Amino acid sequence: MVGNHAVAYAVKQAKPQILAVFPITPQTTMLEKLAEYIDSGQLKAELIKVESEHSAMASIYGAAVAGARVFTATSSQGLLYMTEMFYWAGGQRVPIVAAIATRAIAEPWSIWDDHQDFVSKRDAIWIMTMAENVQDAYDLTIQAFRISEDKRVLLPVMIGFDGFILTHTMERLEVLDDETVDMFLPKRDYNLIDFNDPVNVGPIVTPDNYIKYRYEAKKAMDRAKEVIEEIAKEYEKISGRKQYGLIECYMCEDAEYVFLAMGAWVGDAREAVKRLRSKGNKVGLVKIRTFRPFPKERLVKELRSVRGVIVFDRAYSFGSGGVLANDVKSALYNSGIDVMSVIAGIGGKTVRPLHFEKVMEEVLEGKRFEERWLYE
Amino acid sequence: MSEIPEYIKNKRVIREQHFYRGNAACPGCPIPKELDLLLEVMGKKTVLVVPASCTTVIMGDERGSPSPVPVVHSPFAGAAAIASGLWRQLRMRGDTDAQVVVWAGDGATGDIGFSALSGAAERNENILYVCYDNEAFMNTGIQRSALTPYGAWTTTTPAGKREFKKPLPFIMMEHKIPYVATASIAYSFDYQEKVKKAKGIQGFRYIHLLSPCPPGWRFDSKYTIEVAKLAVETGVWPLFEVINGEFRLTSVSKTLLEKRKPVIEYLKLQGRFAKLSEEDIKIIQEAVDEMWEYIKQLVKK
């Protein structure tokens, strides 16, 4: 299946009641698939054909508040247009699942892949996960509903998966049977609309208390780290596929230098590691599967014996640095580990295993850099 | 306790409150009364969706709310869409008799939320959308909106607005939705009749309620009803309803097709029109007369 269809299939199995999606490349074929599932009766849900992404998130927010399991998907400009409602849903801590087919932000116009849209939501109080391949996108979607609705968490969850590279690429996919998904995803138990016990959902809050709500959200985000790992373990049992909740360490045990990245190009980095290892180099790879909450503690633990980390970023904080690189530097503060930042693949610029290999070889030869753009 | 005299009952002096007092509305603000009258008809199984507006404040903070029904707050542009998701889920979960009402100001309706409103109307979502129109962004401190009338002073039109009010009820009529009506707090029976009718209809229903605002319109808070009444009597605010495309005038507006009080009687009570020139008043009068010519054609249809 292609990535868009894999996510749509996972959504069908999760049985949401209300969906609202607005078309945007490269997400659109997922919307079409979902419409097909609903039309043919394979998914008993309502798809609200909204007039904008802002309304897509607003309408599923309304449905979620009244107890529905909900889903939406978007990309790039659509995600930006949704921004206000994204924060709204995160602030209210309503369980919602959204899939983001990552894509560069205009202008200049680009329909191609990078992570600038995805990382723009990092402070919206959403759990953010990122898939490496189509299988990952499917597995993460099923787990996202469970994480989002977990009583210890109650936060919306987004799944990022690279536009075109995953959304439109056919890969072999193992799916769970419907009964297994039903058992894994218990009936949703979250509702704020009770006519016998009416509440004011999202009113003005006095300065004395606002910070308390935010502190509660922070604690939920912290708790989510454990919950994500726990749910990944359980999913591993039912699927028979190795799952990595927060991060995956590939050949890290004796590694002196590691790549760190998230998204589809983790596959390229993996290939580069294999090639470099075959030449006798002690290198490894850390894949960030959960970007928020950021797996700080795990990173510190797993990287304690490496000499350097090369962070590959597909998104940039202008005037500051690579978005992932900044997080990694902050996590490894005072550890003495060299963190080098590579900015590449912006706006769909091709990156191959060779690119990873070349950068690593230079580092192994003793070259050091703070930040480097692969723009040629 | 002695029996309540029949004449008091008839005057509806003693009645249950459907929206509680002691809320944060300004003196003379019609919104609490408008909500009270609305909820009396709509009943307890109603959800209010409230976008950023005066009502956001009136609904209270985390310590309590004057609303006896669930309220879902919305950012400025989200109300019609939030309501779309809400009613569908309420139906999905079996609450088929529940009502979803958007209670939105004119800015959230005719400006920033217009796309969502138009979208929800086009999809014929099963919601009642009430625009309480106080003719400017009042909650932020009297800034002009698309629904501020010609000539009115606001903090962003210090010399008076030069553009005309966006004719929202007519625009909604052109969406061919099952029910469109205008209403006024000065004609509460007419207003409640319309809410009652809307309640009984499936699909997208729209009621546009002119809501005089003492601080924003610059009149003494004791004149709220007087101002609302004159808006209708001068023809500035015609009361009508459109059921499945059929237009009809209601209440006193039925008698105003040929003869109305001059608009100056409405304008002169309000400080926001204090600086109007003779020419401006003429322009406003002509615009009102022109609108009534249009209404005449709608009535004939």
What's the CATH number where B194 sits?
Answer: 3.40.50.970
B124 close contact with A: CB closer than 8 A: no
Nearest-CA residue of chain B relative to A195?
A: B45
Instruction: Establish if B11 belongs to a structural domain.
Output: no
**How far, in Å, CA of A38 to CA of A56, rounded?**
17
Bridge partners of B61, per DSSP, are A204
| Alpha helix positions (H), A112-206 | 116-119, 134-149, 178-184
What pLDDT score does B1 carry?
A: 47
Residue B163 CB neighbour total at 10 angstroms? 11
Is residue B9 included in any domain, yes or no?
no
The architecture (CATH level 2) of A247-373 comes to 3-Layer(aba) Sandwich (3.40)
**DSSP string covering A27-48, please?**
THHHHHHHHHHHHTTSS--EEE
CA distance A127 to A137: 15
Task: Render pLDDT for B284-297 as a digit per residue (tens, 0 to 9).
Answer: 999 999 999 999 99
Condensed to tens digits (0 to 9), the pLDDT of residues A287-341 reads: 999 999 999 999 999 999 999 999 999 999 999 999 999 999 999 999 999 999 9
Cβ-nearest to A203 among B65, B75, B82: B65
- Whether B78 has its CB under 8 Å from any CB of chain A: the answer is yes
Task: For the domain covering A3-239, report its CATH number.
Answer: 3.40.50.970
Q: Do A59 and B47 touch (CB under 8 A)?
A: no
Mark yes or no for CB contact A203/B45 under 8 Å: no
**In this complex, is the C-beta atom of B196 within 8 Å of any C-beta atom belonging to chain A?**
no
* Separation in Å, CA of A195 to nearest CA in chain B: 6
Domains A3-239 and A247-373 share a fold: yes
Q: Which domain does B217 fall in, by range?
A: 16-300
Nearest CB partner across the interface for A88, out of B75, B80, B93: B75
Minimum distance, in Å, between the CA of residue B212 and any CA atom of chain A: 24
> What is the separation of C-alpha A287 from the centre of its chain, rounded to a whole number of angstroms?
12
CA of B294 vs chain A CAs: smallest distance (Å): 31
Domain contains B3: no
The pLDDT of residue B3 is: 66
Tokens 């945007």 -> residue? A24
Q: Is the pLDDT of residue A14 over 90?
A: yes
Closest residue to A85, CB basis, from B56, B65, B75: B75
A-chain residue closest to B87, CA distance: A63
A252-to-A249, A308, B178 alpha-carbon distances in Å = 6, 12, 65
What does the pLDDT look like over B153-208, one tens digit per residue? 999 999 999 999 999 999 999 999 999 999 999 999 999 999 999 999 999 999 99
Chain A residue with minimum CA distance to B98: A195
A66 vs B contacts (CB less than 8 Å): 47, 85-86, 89-90, 93
Which residues of A touch chain B, with CB atoms under 8 Å apart?
17-18, 20, 46, 48-52, 54-56, 58-68, 70, 84-85, 88, 192-195, 198-206, 209
pLDDT in tens, A110-167: 999 999 999 999 999 999 999 999 999 999 999 999 999 999 999 999 999 999 999 9
pLDDT tens digits, A56-98: 999 999 999 999 999 999 999 999 999 999 999 999 999 999 9
Q: Domain tally for chain B?
A: 1
Question: Is the Cβ of B45 closer than 8 Å to some Cβ of chain A?
Answer: yes
Is B210 an 8 Å CB contact of chain A?
no
Q: Indicate the burial class of B135 (C-beta count within 10 angstroms; 0-12, 13-18, 19 or more).
A: buried
- Angle between helical axes of A53-65 and A83-92 (0-180°, round to 10): 20
What helix, strand, coil percent values describe chain A, rounded to 5?
A: 40, 20, 40
Structure tokens at A69: 């399991």
Instruction: Return the ∠ at Cα A158 (arms to A156 and A160), rounded to 5°.
Output: 175
| Cα three-residue angle B256-B135-B163, rounded to 5 degrees | 85
pTM: 0.95
Measure in Å the smallest separation between the Cα of A281 and chain B Cα atoms: 55
- CB-closest option in A52, A61, A206 to B82: A61
Tell how strand B46-51 and strand B99-105 pair up.
parallel
Gyration radius (Cα) of chain A, Å = 20
Q: What is the mean pLDDT of each run of 10 residues along chain B (301 residues)?
A: 57 72 93 97 97 96 92 98 98 97 98 98 98 97 98 97 98 98 98 98 98 98 98 98 96 97 98 97 98 96 74
Mean pLDDT of all residues belonging to chain A: 97
Domain ranges of chain A: 3-239, 247-373
pLDDT tens per residue across span A16-32: 999 999 999 999 999 99
**Alpha-carbon gap, residue A85 to A83, rounded angstroms:** 5
